[in-house]
Amino acid sequence: MDTSSDITPLMRQYNAIKSKYPDALLLFRVGDFYETFGQDAILTSKLLDIVLTRRANGAATYIELAGFPYHALDTYLPRLVKAGQRVAICDQLEDPKLAKKIVKRGVTELVTPGVSYNDKVLDTRENNFLAGIHLGEKITGIAFLDVSTGEFYLSQGSVEYIDKLIQTFRPSEVLLQKNMQAHFRTLFGEKFYINTFDDWVFTIDFTQDLLQKHFGTTSLKGFGVDDLPQGIIAAGAILHYLAETQHDRVQHICKISRLEEDRYVWLDKFTVRNLELVSTPNEHAATLLQVMDHTISPMGSRLLKKWILLPLKEKAPIVERHQVVGHLMTHTDLADLLSQQIRLMGDMERLISKVAVGRISPREILQVKRALEAVEPVKKACLSSDLPFL
């Protein structure tokens, strides 16, 4: 077991683990507390407004220390992530009472602004996108992944087009080539949380192979993205990042979709801001999203936001939406049934992702059961409808 006299071997273990995550804030489980040490402790104390102390580290040295009870992780972790920190959670991997020497520890999760399953970190009514960007001389590739829902998109095009995509998807974190940070900030501004990889990651051979292995295919033709090499590179960099951050259980990411430039009206940041679609600079003013959002599930709210920011150009899908709305307004029994069942589903999209990665609680498992039971009446009602689109 760990005692105060064991501080030197404890710090040796801490330093060995910290060396593997030099850019992350390491939460190190010691008994009933998550502790931080040294520069991590100074930063944690400042960000969380908790007490900073010092502790003996060997015979003649001291080290800064700041921590909080392990059961308060859901309170403090969101604050660290929202402050732009990558947080490595290092847990005890064995019962301290059974440990003969120092307790075995290891990092069980690396949470970043763009990669999290934690309900306290995520906004239920917002997607949390991680973006991969491959900046080219003429054509730039981009991909977006919300690991909490499994939504995965890619595209490529001019810098102007990429800027509109960034404004639409508003990623919490961006991945790009190490030597492109300054250029990216010049093009797209300073407000993004950035992580980088060496150039060898951003190659078509490496990234395409990574994507094909993940999806279990011999090509990407079936997804309709095989002619977007820059986008493929961006998407592959995202999968590489997941592996690097110990998020390798991602079976729920089962497809990748093409964002087609000619399918939507692409809104630039000035249009989105001036029309106050999803945010407003004016105090107490309501956005279009707030006025329209009477959805009854987090899934519906996230979808409505996407529809507002991605207006359709093609007539056929617009007519389809109008016909569905009109049908539900005249068939109120069907609308009531759908509303009742969707309320029972909760956020099934994110719950299913938690199942895939093994991060689901017993209570959430029961919610998955209720959600799946609620799907059956919806399916039956839609199949028996006289509207083909339903």
pLDDT recorded at residue 7: 60
Q: Residues 253-290, buried b or exposed e (16+ Cβ, 10 A)?
A: beebebbeeeebebbeeeebeeebbbebeeeeeebebe
Residue at a domain's end among 111, 142, 177? 111
One domain for residues 107 and 145: no
State the average pLDDT over residues 198-223: 94
Question: d(Cα 232, Cα 141) in Å, to the nearest integer?
Answer: 7
**In this structure, are 64 and 148 located in the same domain?**
no
Q: Are residues 33 and 152 in the same domain?
A: no
Question: Is the pLDDT score of 1 beyond 90?
Answer: no
Does residue 237 surpass a pLDDT of 80? Answer: yes
Give domain status of residue 273, yes or no.
no
Q: 97 and 134, same structural domain?
A: no
In the listed set 111, 139, 162, which residue is the last one of a domain according to the structure? 111
> For residue 99, what pLDDT band results from cuts at 50, 70 and 90?
confident
Do 10 and 58 fall into the same domain?
yes
| Confidence check: pLDDT of 238 > 60 | yes
**Are 137 and 225 found together in one domain?**
yes
The CATH number linked to 100 is 3.40.1170.10
The answer to whether residues 40 and 150 belong to one domain is no
Query: In this model, does residue 6 exceed pLDDT 70?
Result: no
Confidence of residue 62 (pLDDT cuts 50, 70, 90): confident
Domain-terminating residue out of 242, 258, 274:
258
Structural domain includes residue 222? yes
Is 207 among the domain residues? yes
d(CA 258, CA 250): 20
Residues 136, 231, single domain; the answer is yes
Give per-residue pLDDT as tens, 120-130: 888 888 999 99
- Helix segments in the chain, DSSP class H: 7-18, 38-48, 73-82, 159-169, 181-188, 204-215, 229-244, 269-274, 288-292, 298-309, 315-330, 332-345, 348-357, 362-383
- Inter-axis angle of helices 181-188 and 159-169, nearest 10: 80
Q: Output the CA torsion sign for 179, 184, 186, 192.
A: negative
- Of 51-65, 85-99, 176-190, 364-378, least confident by mean pLDDT is 51-65
Q: Say yes or no: 23 and 141 in one domain.
A: no
Report if residue 243 sits inside a domain.
Answer: yes
Residue written as token pair 């595209």: 155
Mean pLDDT of 47-68: 84
pTM: 0.86
Please state the rounded mean pLDDT for residues 346-368.
91
Residue 4: pLDDT above 70? no
What integer is the mean pLDDT of 314-328?
94
Q: What is the mean pLDDT of residues 144-164?
A: 94
Other C-beta atoms lying within 10 Å of the C-beta of residue 23: 9
pLDDT reported for residue 5: 47
Q: Is residue 48 part of a domain?
A: yes
Same domain, 152 and 207: yes
pLDDT over threshold 50, residue 204: yes
pLDDT band at 58 (very low <50, low <70, confident <90, very high): low
What is the domain extent for residue 252? 130-258
237, 134 contact by CB (below 8 A): yes
Sign of CA dihedral 302, 304, 309, 310: positive
Residues 80, 145, single domain; the answer is no
Query: Rounded mean pLDDT of 319-337?
Result: 94
List pLDDT tens digits, range 251-296.
889 999 999 888 899 888 888 889 999 888 888 889 999 999 999 9
What confidence score (pLDDT) does residue 3 get?
45
Residue-level length of the chain: 390
> Are the C-beta atoms of residues 95 and 34 closer than 8 Å to each other?
no
Do the domain assignments include residue 319?
yes
Average pLDDT over residues 313-341: 94
Number of domains in the chain: 3
In a domain, 147, yes or no: yes
Q: Which pLDDT value is given to residue 315?
A: 93
pLDDT at 2 over 80: no
> What mean pLDDT do residues 169-173 have?
93
Confidence of residue 59 (pLDDT cuts 50, 70, 90): low
The residues facing 153 across adjacent strands are 144, 257
> Which tens digits make up the pLDDT trace of 45-54?
999 999 999 8
Which pLDDT score, from 0 to 100, does residue 249 have? 82
Does residue 299 sit within a domain? no
Question: Which CATH number belongs to the domain containing residue 185 in this structure?
Answer: 3.30.420.110
* Tens-place pLDDT, residues 175-200: 999 999 999 999 998 888 998 899 99
187 in the same domain as 160: yes
Q: Which amino acid is at 36?
A: T
